[in-house]
C-alpha cells in the first residue's frame, strides 16, 4: 500500500495512453485516479490492469442520483476492489446515507464532492447559490461527516477551514493542484502541493503538472520529496 499523499489523475480518453503513463510512474510514489472519461472509454478492465501493477485506484465517478441508484452504483464500484470512490454531497442526506450503507466501513473509502474546483462565486450565483463558495463547502462537508462518510473533495482554499471545523481524522482530498508558476488551466481555486498539505489536505490530486511533464516520473519524485511524508502539520487556528 502506498503511503504517498499524491493521486495522479489519468485524464486520458483511451487505455493505451493511461497504461503508458502509469509505466512511467511508481505505485510506491502515488495512487491513480480514474475519472468519467477514461472509465467510459476503457471500462473496468483498466482498473484490473492498474491494480495488477500495484496501484491503488481512486474511482472518481461522482455518483449523483436517487438514493437507491447511488447505493447500487457504489456497491458495484466496491466490487472492483478500488481504494476510494466518491459521490456528490449535493445529492442530500438520504443519498449520502444510502451510499454509506452500501459501502462497508473500513473497506473502500467513501468521500463526497462539495463544490467543483472549476466553479467560482459567479458560477454558483448562476445556479441559484447566493452564499460564498466556502460557506457552501462547509455546509456540505458537515452534512457528509454527519452521514458517516470518510471525507470530502474540496479546493485548497477551503482546507484550513474544514480541518479546523471537522477535525484531523476527516479526510480532505484536494484537486486543483498546480506547481509554482504553472498554468491553472480550467481550475479556478488552485494551490501548490506544499501549501495544500500545510493547510490540511490529506491527499492531493495532480493531473497535467505530472502527466504532461517532460519527465513524469522525475516530476512526481520531486513533488513527493518536497512534501513532509512523515507528519501532517495542520493549521488549527484561524
Which run of H or E residues covers position 168? none
**Cβ(67)–Cβ(98) below 8 Å:** yes
24 is a catalytic site residue: no
* Max CA pair span of the chain: 47
**Cβ(59)–Cβ(32) below 8 Å:** no
User: 137 vs 22, 31, 132, 161, CA distance in Å?
Assistant: 32, 25, 9, 10
**Cβ(17)–Cβ(237) below 8 Å:** no
Q: Which residues contact 128 (CB under 8 A, 6 or more apart)?
A: none
> 3-class SS at 176?
coil
**DSSP label of 177:** B
Phi, psi of 71 (to 5 degrees): -60, -45
> Catalytic one among 24, 49, 62, 75?
62
Alpha-carbon distance 234 to 160, whole Å? 8
Q: Catalytic site residues?
A: 62
Amino acid at each position: 500500500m502506498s503511503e504517498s499523499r499524491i493521486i495522479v489523475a489519468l485524464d486520458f480518453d483511451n487505455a493505451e495512453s493511461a497504461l503508458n503513463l502509469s509505466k512511467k510512474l511508481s505505485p510506491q510514489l502515488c495512487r491513480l485516479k480514474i475519472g468519467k472519461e477514461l472509465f467510459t472509454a476503457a471500462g473496468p478492465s483498466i482498473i484490473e490492469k492498474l491494480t495488477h501493477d500495484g496501484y491503488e485506484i481512486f474511482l472518481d465517478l461522482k455518483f449523483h442520483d436517487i438514493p437507491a441508484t447511488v447505493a447500487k452504483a457504489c456497491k458495484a464500484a466496491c466490487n472492483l476492489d478500488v481504494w476510494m470512490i466518491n459521490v456528490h454531497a449535493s445529492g442530500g442526506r438520504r443519498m449520502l446515507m444510502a451510499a454509506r450503507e452500501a459501502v462497508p466501513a473500513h473497506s473502500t473509502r467513501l468521500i463526497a464532492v462539495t463544490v467543483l474546483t472549476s466553479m467560482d462565486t459567479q458560477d454558483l450565483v448562476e445556479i441559484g447559490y447566493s452564499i460564498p463558495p466556502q460557506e457552501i463547502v462547509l455546509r456540505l462537508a458537515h452534512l457528509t461527516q454527519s452521514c458517516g462518510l470518510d471525507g470530502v473533495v474540496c479546493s485548497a482554499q477551503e482546507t484550513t477551514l474544514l480541518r479546523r471545523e471537522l477535525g484531523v481524522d476527516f479526510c480532505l482530498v484536494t484537486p486543483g493542484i498546480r506547481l509554482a508558476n504553472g498554468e491553472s488551466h480550467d481550475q479556478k481555486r488552485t494551490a501548490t502541493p506544499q501549501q495544500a498539505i500545510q493547510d490540511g489536505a490529506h491527499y492531493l490530486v495532480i493531473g497535467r503538472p505530472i502527466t504532461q511533464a517532460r519527465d513524469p516520473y522525475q516530476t512526481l519524485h520531486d513533488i513527493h520529496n518536497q512534501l513532509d511524508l512523515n507528519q501532517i502539520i495542520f493549521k488549527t487556528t484561524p
